[in-house]
Amino acid sequence: MRNPLQEQLLKAGLAKKSKLDQVAREQAKQRHAKSAPAVNVEQAEAERIRLEKVERDRALSAERNAQAKAQELRAQVRQIVEQNRLKPEGGIDYRFTHNGAIRSLLVTDALRRQLANGSLVVACHDSGYAIVPRAVAEKIEARDPAMIALDHGRNASAAPDDDDHYSQFKVPDDLIW
């Protein structure tokens, strides 16, 4: 079926019937060719959605793996502390700050001195704290540094800078702390 313009051109003799038929076939081919890419657009959209889902699943899987690894490290730290902690004993209250709050442990005089010089370290354990040797604290710190609550040996590197700064100020001999 031709459009009215083609009919008028044919009647006026300005176009040939074979030429009009050829144009009509080309137009029909173009119409049919356009429908095929529409299917490709739908396929491309479906493929894009599938790829987004695969990427989202991959991200969720990576997050779950990271959480599982963190949980495994916490379990390792808990086991290390449980196996190597010193028994809580003593009558001296040893106070330290952790997470902005003052905490305390009961220790003996020997434990207090070892904590002060850095050979013993206070680590977080369950809902409380445990005293562990320095070698164990290094293992804990390799897995989760946040589990170390008090380590005077680690802070020893900062002390010389403070000493150098404060050495210029003279302290009177009669000052009592």
Query: Domain residue spans in the chain?
Result: 1-84, 85-158
Q: What is the pLDDT, as a whole number, of residue 145?
A: 87
Evaluate if residue 90 carries a pLDDT over 90: no
Q: Reading across the β-sheet that carries 148-150, which strands appear in turn? A: 128-133, 120-125, 148-150
- The partner residues of 130 in beta bridges, in order of sequence, read 123
DSSP code, position 154: G
**What is the Cα–Cα distance from 131 to 107, expressed in whole angstroms?**
9
pLDDT band at 167 (very low <50, low <70, confident <90, very high): confident
Q: What is the pLDDT, as a whole number, of residue 40?
A: 79
32-36, 52-56, 76-80, range with the lowest pLDDT: 32-36
Give the residue among 120, 123, 117, 130 at the shortest CA–CA distance from 145: 123
Please provide the average confidence, as pLDDT, over all residues in the chain.
84
Q: What is the pLDDT, as a whole number, of residue 158?
A: 46
Give the residue among 160, 132, 163 at the shortest CA–CA distance from 148: 132
Q: What is the pLDDT, as a whole number, of residue 67?
A: 95
Evaluate if residue 39 carries a pLDDT over 70: no
**pLDDT tens-place string over residues 103-127:** 888 898 888 888 888 889 999 888 8
Evaluate if residue 31 carries a pLDDT over 90: no
pTM for this entry = 0.55
Q: What is the pLDDT, as a whole number, of residue 164?
A: 80
pLDDT band at 166 (very low <50, low <70, confident <90, very high): confident
**What is the Cα–Cα distance from 106 to 115, expressed in whole angstroms?**
12
Q: What is the pLDDT, as a whole number, of residue 47?
A: 92
Evaluate if residue 160 carries a pLDDT over 80: no
